[in-house]
Structure 1
């Protein structure tokens, strides 16, 4: 840290902590972390506010400290909450800096501004939870400005924090299941406990709540419980399910249940369904369910039967479903671009969709040059020998 950076912190500490009943060693240490942390101090590039003013790393750090001071001392917000808000609300901070004199002492300017212009505390709060302004603006309370006026919001927020859910992930939960933050005291903890009683670990629950916030609404979700029963019956352990859950995705367990039931009704016996789930669990738990439905509809439209589709999934290659779906789609676009007859396209897709989904084709123009062939000739080659797709993926002449 530079001497200037240390001076800012020492000046702040000496003017605010001496004689204060709120003084805590952790508070002072945390303030040093703001200035020491390269993410907030030395390496952050200069950015511009909406009105064109440049914000240097030093100015940003001073603004963060001033905002933290205001939230913690003036507004009596818990220190960890105030710290998170001051560190992780860059858009709000830039908007605040745009309203003060950047050539004067930043900390004093912001402190003076906040004394006469109270902020809507929900803005930096929601942004610090991982939401962008366009996400949280529609969620801002119409008649509230101060966080302390919504005790249930803070209570349920702290329940999730204490449970181990990262603050930056809680915004997703708020956006997708806002009513959870209106639960009365103790209700949310009981809902989390109800899922744990199903035999789910806390680490699994943390991922589950982030990727499926709606599970916390109402009673224990029946569709999720049924999916859990099916997977357990097929020998899938919770820890393996946890590995494939993605907090970046949003899961609809009713769709997954319907898909598993569809395979069952289509002719899969219990052993086959178990084999499919065991070998390709990622297909069902990596946000691919909607694409699976699209693929099934696509193949049915081309004349495949459900038995053929089920057989395809039983032989599914060891690759990500997204990649398989992308390849299959590109094969269709390729055949359409070289003007192959619709009936011939249908025959090729019905004959070997696994091969098509495993091929990563080059663009038609690239293949025309590599194969020295016009569209008509490529159509003939593919119709005579559909497996030539595999070599076309490498740009090699069949």
Structure 2
């Protein structure tokens, strides 16, 4: 059935019809060549709200000619009566060449960010994102002052987070130092704790310096959206690495002090499900990290019955990665032990994963071996 534009019912004009073509096939006497779907425009508009900017940003979807498909800010409905490129010509200081450059980049499917000066309005930061396998693009518009405000808040929050992390680390160091002073253990244990503190300080200093440097770069480039986006991404990644390092150090300290308790859900099974999963994720994570893309990783699980009527569950993990030297196998369960080779270059880790896994297995009356 086909409607001319003036024959379409009013209710139908509030919906978006879309289709996906695929290889024809028959079911009985009916031939199928694609799938057609329909969505309500007002539902799509609600999904386009940008909560991360306090609702002060807005999103639109335009086709290859600049016509609005969906927009939270549409003033004249859908179609050529409301064209994004025409709005740029009327409301901004962009030249025709600059507008044509935006059109060409969208036509080529490029994703990019522009700083646009609007006539008699607040300057805007606009992000263009191509929708895969379509001729549509998403246009995210945020006022420049809102963008700067959000960025400044992130910088402040990052600074506060750094302060909290530094305080926590200082307290941790004081606790470790106090334990070292009052401990009556042998010299070997005292030396081990000193090595642990030294390695921990070195591992923590690197990401902290990175975050501080990135904060400085953000303050120097708070008017450059592209640079800010790059630095924010790197700062987030570095902060997450620092958090994982702190978590590993806390787990290691608790294990060495015997303060981690395992949860046994069944009376006839010894083992904490969460801790077993943590051990397996540590080992499998290393296997993925040091195995090339064309390699393979295999995990086998089986059970062995002992004479004492006990049943032992065995997890074996094998990979075709770079392997490890015999020398490293002797210290693989030591804190901060990492082997460096051509394959491991560029990978990051705390060097605590295997040590934590070894102690967890021991606490659950199990063993971990290479």
TM-score normalised according to structure 1 size:
0.30
Structure with greater strand percent: 2
TM-score normalised according to structure 2 size:
0.31
